[in-house]
C-alpha cells in the first residue's frame, strides 16, 4: 500500500487530506498520515466558547467571493451552519485625527463606486476626493513588472486614499505594509481592473453591474443575498476544523496524529523518509508540507538547501488578537458597524478592532458587547511580546481614547500569532514560480498553505485541493 504524509494540520493540511479522499479513484490503495505538531488541529483557526461568548482567536470569517471555503463546508455537511454578517450594521469606521469616521458607503476594497457617499464623507478632504475621482482619467501603467501596493494606490487614487483607506484596511486584514506588499500577488484584481478598464472605479462598477445581472438571472438568485461578503459558521470556524478532523479520523487508512512534529524530509528510494522529532520515521510515496514556509524551509533543508533558502525569503509577521467584553450598559459608544481600522499616521497601538457582537449574531450574551482588537503586524511587531496584563492595559487605553470606554471588562482573552501571517512582498510571484519549478525535480513532494498562492482560508483550501489533485495523478501514474 502506498502512503501519503501530510505535514501540518491547519486548514490547508486538513483540506488536502480531505480532498485526497474525495478525489481518490476506485481501486486506489493508499494510506494518509497527517502529522500536526500541536496538541490541536486548526493552526491559526481557533474558536473558544466561554460564559456565553464565542471568541475567535485567529480568523473570524472567510470571503464568500472566493468560493472554496463555502463549497468545502457544504460538502462536509455544514450548509446549515453558515452565518452571514449582520448587515443592519454593515458600516466600517476609520480613525482620522482622533475621531471615527464612516468609510463612505460604496467603497469596495478601497475603490469608491458611489459618488454621493464619497462626496459627503468627513473622512477624506475635498482635494483627496477629487484626486480619487482622477482615477477615471489617470492613464494605465505602461511599464510591466511588479509594483508595491503603496505606489499603485498613490498612482491611481492619491496619497490620502492610501493613508486613510488602503493602508489601514490592508493592515487590518494582512497585517502588512503597503510599501513592501506586491500589488500583483496581494491584490491581482486591482491590476486586472486597471488593465481591463483603464480605471479602478470604472472596472469595479462594471463588475458589480455584471454580478448583479448574474444574480438576477439565476433562479433564486435574489435569495443569494443571504450570502454576505464575509461568512462564518454559527459555532465558530473551529467547527470546520473539528468536522474535517473527525470525518477523516472515521475513514479507512487515514491516520491523524497530534503532538507529532516532522523534523525533516529526505529522499529514500523512489520516495521520501519523514523523520519525526523525538524518534521514529515514516516512509512515504508522496509528502505534502502544509506548514508555514519558514517551517517548510527547516524541514526541507537537508533535501534541497536552495529550495529551503528560497522558502525563507517569504517573510512573516506576528500579530495578536485581544478579545474584550463589556456590559452593554457600560458602553456609551453606539458601535453601529463592524468595527474600525486605524491608519498608521494616527500613531496608535492597535491596527483595527472588530465589533464582533455587532458583526455576527450569537457572539455575546444579550447584555454584553464583544470587541476584538488587532495588535502587532508590520508596524508594531514588538507589541506582540507584551505580557497579557500589559497587552490588556494597552488595549483598554486605546479603547478609552478611541471609543470612550472606561468600564471594567467582564472578560478578556489574548491570542498571540507569532510568524503567522505570510507577506506577499514585491517579487512574490517570481519567488513562488521559482519554488513551483524547483518542486518539479522532487516528484511526490508538494507545498500547500497560505504562503504561496493566496492568503486567506479559502485560498488555503483551494491550494490544498489543487495539491491533492496532483498527488492523486502521481499515485495513479506510479501504479
Does 449 contact ligand FAD by CB under 6 A? yes
Does 60 contact ligand FAD by CB under 6 A? yes
Classify 25 as helix, strand or coil.
coil
CA dist., res. 313 & res. 275, Å (int): 24
Give the nearer residue to ligand FAD in terms of CB position, either 124 or 274. 274
CA dist., res. 240 & res. 219, Å (int): 28
Closest CA to 207 of 192, 229, 218, 188: 192
Does 176 contact ligand FAD by CB under 6 A? no
How do strand 111-112 and strand 230-233 relate by DSSP bridges?
unpaired
Mark residues 373-412: x for contact with ligand FAD by CB under 6 A, - for none.
----------------------------------------
What are the residue ranges of helices labelled H in 81-227? 115-119, 126-133, 149-157, 159-161, 167-174, 183-186, 188-197, 200-217
CA dist., res. 338 & res. 100, Å (int): 13
Q: According to CB under 6 A, which one of 340, 343, 456, 475 is a site residue for ligand FAD?
A: 456
Cα 7 off chain centre by: 20
CA dist., res. 42 & res. 14, Å (int): 8
Does 104 contact ligand FAD by CB under 6 A? no
Does 43 contact ligand FAD by CB under 6 A? yes
Q: According to CB under 6 A, which one of 262, 300, 358, 472 is a site residue for ligand FAD?
A: 262
What are the residue ranges of helices labelled H in 250-335? 293-299, 305-311
Q: Please give the residues from 286 up to 315 whose contact with ligand FAD meets the rule CB under 6 A.
A: 290-292, 295, 299
Residue 5 C-beta: closest distance to ligand FAD, Å = 10
Count interface residues toward ligand FAD (CB under 6 A).
37
Residue 209 C-beta: closest distance to ligand FAD, Å = 27
Residue 50 C-beta: closest distance to ligand FAD, Å = 18
Does 274 contact ligand FAD by CB under 6 A? no
Cα 168 off chain centre by: 16
Taking CB under 6 A as the binding criterion, the range among 54-62, 306-314, 384-392, 396-404 that sits at the site for ligand FAD is: 54-62
Element (H, E) at 477: helix 457-478
Q: According to CB under 6 A, which one of 3, 4, 6, 10 is a site residue for ligand FAD?
A: 10
Residue 238 C-beta: closest distance to ligand FAD, Å = 11
Taking CB under 6 A as the binding criterion, the range among 4-12, 114-122, 148-156, 350-358 that sits at the site for ligand FAD is: 4-12
The answer for residues whose C-beta is within 8 angstroms of residue 350's C-beta and 6 or more apart is: 342, 373, 374, 375, 395, 398
Residue 394 C-beta: closest distance to ligand FAD, Å = 17
Q: How far is CA 39 from CA 36, 193, 250, in A?
A: 7, 44, 19
CA dist., res. 356 & res. 473, Å (int): 43
CA dist., res. 196 & res. 183, Å (int): 16
Taking CB under 6 A as the binding criterion, the range among 7-15, 278-286, 353-361, 393-401 that sits at the site for ligand FAD is: 7-15
Residue 11 C-beta: closest distance to ligand FAD, Å = 5
Residue 295 C-beta: closest distance to ligand FAD, Å = 4
Beta bridge partners of 55: 48
Taking CB under 6 A as the binding criterion, the range among 114-122, 164-172, 196-204, 414-422 that sits at the site for ligand FAD is: 414-422
Q: Please give the residues from 417 up to 446 whose contact with ligand FAD meets the rule CB under 6 A.
A: 417, 420-421
Taking CB under 6 A as the binding criterion, the range among 149-157, 208-216, 343-351, 449-457 that sits at the site for ligand FAD is: 449-457
Give the nearer residue to ligand FAD in terms of CB position, either 154 or 453. 453
What is the arrangement of strands in the sheet containing 339-341, beginning at the earlier edge strand?
99-102, 92-96, 339-341, 352-354, 368-376, 316-327, 411-422
User: Residue numbers of the site for ligand FAD (CB under 6 A)?
Assistant: 7-13, 35-38, 43-45, 58-62, 261-262, 290-292, 295, 299, 319, 321, 417, 420-421, 449-450, 455-457, 460
Amino acid at each position: 500500500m502506498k502512503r501519503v504524509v501530510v505535514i501540518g494540520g491547519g486548514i490547508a493540511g486538513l483540506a488536502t487530506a480531505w480532498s485526497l479522499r474525495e478525489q481518490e479513484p476506485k481501486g486506489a490503495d493508499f494510506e494518509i498520515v497527517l502529522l500536526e505538531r500541536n496538541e490541536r488541529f486548526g493552526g491559526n483557526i481557533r474558536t473558544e466558547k466561554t460564559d456565553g461568548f464565542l471568541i475567535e482567536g485567529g480568523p473570524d470569517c472567510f470571503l464568500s467571493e472566493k468560493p472554496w471555503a463555502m463549497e468545502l463546508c457544504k460538502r462536509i455537511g455544514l450548509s446549515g451552519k453558515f452565518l452571514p454578517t449582520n448587515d443592519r450594521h454593515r458600516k466600517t469606521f476609520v480613525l482620522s485625527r482622533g475621531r471615527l469616521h464612516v468609510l463612505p458607503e460604496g467603497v469596495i476594497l478601497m475603490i469608491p463606486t458611489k459618488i454621493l457617499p464619497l462626496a459627503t464623507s468627513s473622512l477624506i478632504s475635498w482635494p483627496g476626493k477629487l484626486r480619487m475621482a482622477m482615477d477615471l482619467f489617470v492613464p494605465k501603467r505602461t511599464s510591466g513588472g511588479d509594483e508595491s501596493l503603496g505606489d499603485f494606490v498613490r498612482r491611481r487614487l492619491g496619497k490620502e486614499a492610501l493613508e486613510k483607506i488602503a493602508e489601514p484596511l490592508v493592515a487590518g486584514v494582512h497585517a502588512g505594509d503597503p510599501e513592501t506588499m506586491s500589488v500583483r500577488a496581494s491584490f491581482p484584481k486591482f491590476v486586472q481592473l486597471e488593465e481591463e478598464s483603464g480605471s479602478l472605479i470604472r472596472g469595479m462598477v462594471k463588475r458589480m453591474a455584471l454580478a448583479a445581472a448574474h444574480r438576477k438571472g439565476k433562479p433564486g438568485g435574489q435569495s443569494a443575498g443571504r450570502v454576505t461578503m464575509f461568512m462564518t459558521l454559527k459555532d465558530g470556524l473551529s467547527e470546520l476544523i473539528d468536522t474535517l478532523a473527525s470525518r477523516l479520523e472515521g475513514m479507512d487508512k487515514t491516520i491523524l496524529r497530534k503532538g507529532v512534529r516532522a523534523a525533516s524530509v529526505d529522499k529514500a528510494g523512489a520516495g521520501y523518509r519523514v523523520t519525526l522529532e523525538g524518534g521514529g520515521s515514516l516512509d512515504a510515496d508522496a509528502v505534502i508540507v502544509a506548514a508555514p514556509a519558514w517551517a517548510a524551509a527547516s524541514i526541507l533543508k537537508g533535501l534541497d538547501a536552495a529550495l529551503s533558502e528560497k522558502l525563507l525569503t517569504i517573510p512573516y509577521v506576528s500579530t495578536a488578537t485581544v478579545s474584550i467584553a463589556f456590559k452593554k450598559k457600560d458602553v456609551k459608544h453606539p458601535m453601529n458597524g463592524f468595527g474600525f481600522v486605524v491608519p498608521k499616521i494616527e500613531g496608535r497601538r492597535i491596527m483595527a478592532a472588530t465589533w464582533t457582537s455587532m458583526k455576527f449574531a450569537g457572539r455575546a450574551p444579550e447584555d454584553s458587547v464583544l470587541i476584538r482588537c488587532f495588535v502587532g503586524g508590520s508596524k508594531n511587531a514588538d507589541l506582540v511580546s507584551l505580557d497579557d496584563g500589559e497587552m490588556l492595559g494597552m488595549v483598554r487605553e486605546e479603547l478609552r481614547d478611541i471609543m470612550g470606554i472606561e468600564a471594567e471588562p467582564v472578560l478578556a482573552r489574548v491570542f498571540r500569532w507569532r510568524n503567522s501571517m505570510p507577506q506577499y512582498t514585491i517579487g512574490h510571484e517570481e519567488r513562488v514560480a521559482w519554488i513551483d519549478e524547483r518542486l518539479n525535480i522532487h516528484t511526490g513532494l508538494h507545498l500547500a498553505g497560505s504562503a504561496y498562492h493566496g492568503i486567506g482560508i479559502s485560498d488555503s483550501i483551494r491550494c490544498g485541493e489543487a495539491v491533492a489533485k496532483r498527488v492523486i495523478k502521481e499515485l495513479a501514474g506510479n501504479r
